[in-house]
Structure 1
Amino acid sequence: MVGGGVVDDNLELVHLLRAVSVEFGLHQAEFAAHHGMHPTDVRALICLLDAERAGEAATAGLLGARLGLNSAGTTAVIDRLERLGHVARVRDGADRRRVLLRVEPEAVRLGRAFFGPLIDRLLAVQGTLDPTEREAVRRFLTAARAALGEQEPGEPKRGEGQ
């Protein structure tokens, strides 16, 4: 709200995006608690699944960079996920020196069982939009993601000082 209770249209979109992010975070935290995980573990699984969908090699370095974790923090997350049976370390077939991270099928099943109904509801909402509206939402979310990933000069990089 700005001034006498008038909502600034531009800020309203930012506030709505933040609210959606908070809701996603609450669902992730609930999933984590239900499965004996840390919320960062859930974000790690999401990062690894996103990398797989994008055809990217899922390495510890990629995971640490995406989560903003230092090397020790990244190793701790991978170790926890491996102990829980959600992730496996596997040698890269093309470069045996490189270790890749693979999300195990049981972790995928647990995720689908929990998040499937939420995804179905979001797909139903998306289905109410015409192609032009969907493209506008896609452009906004893509640009918002890029803006959130930008760093100001002199700003510490994610994971520094952890």
Structure 2
Amino acid sequence: MALDDFDRALIAATQGGLPLVPRPYDAVGERLGVSGQQVRERLKQMLETGLIRRIGAVPNHYRLGFTANGMSVWNVDDAQVDALGERIGQLPGVSHCYRRPRRLPAWPYNLFAMLHGRSRAEVEQQAAQVQQLLGAACTGHDILYSTAILKKTGLRLKEN
């Protein structure tokens, strides 16, 4: 999909995040010489066409006090993994949950859920809730704790 000059300017103006003001789309529009409504409409079109996947907040969990962040991995019955994953993704403390292929024999896990807590004990309590929800459909799990903060970025345009 070809980008026009406005698309490129809009992406450049938002790729570092929306301004932290009460009306961020109006602020972006002012910077680009258009209305906030035009910014919202074009971003909506970009979402609908698949040019961008989502617009959302990306919190820094560490700055919010959630310093024990663990990717919990689960070996879940394939016939139930999708439905159970949907339920796990709704739990408080789970920022994302998704299915991945197993890599047998070393890696039997097919469901991943990122858990955030203020301590490892809190993350382990959340994992116990996940285990309870999964019940007999789960035959094993582990928690892989974060050791570094990775820079999260959204859509970026290449410099010409």
TM over 0.5: no
Compare relative contact order (CA 8 Å, sep 6+) and give the higher one, 1 or 2.
Answer: 2
Q: Please give the TM-score of this superposition, normalised by the length of structure 2.
A: 0.31
Structure with max Cα Rg? 2
Instruction: Report which of the two has the higher share of strand.
Output: 2
Instruction: Report which of the two has the higher share of helix.
Output: 1
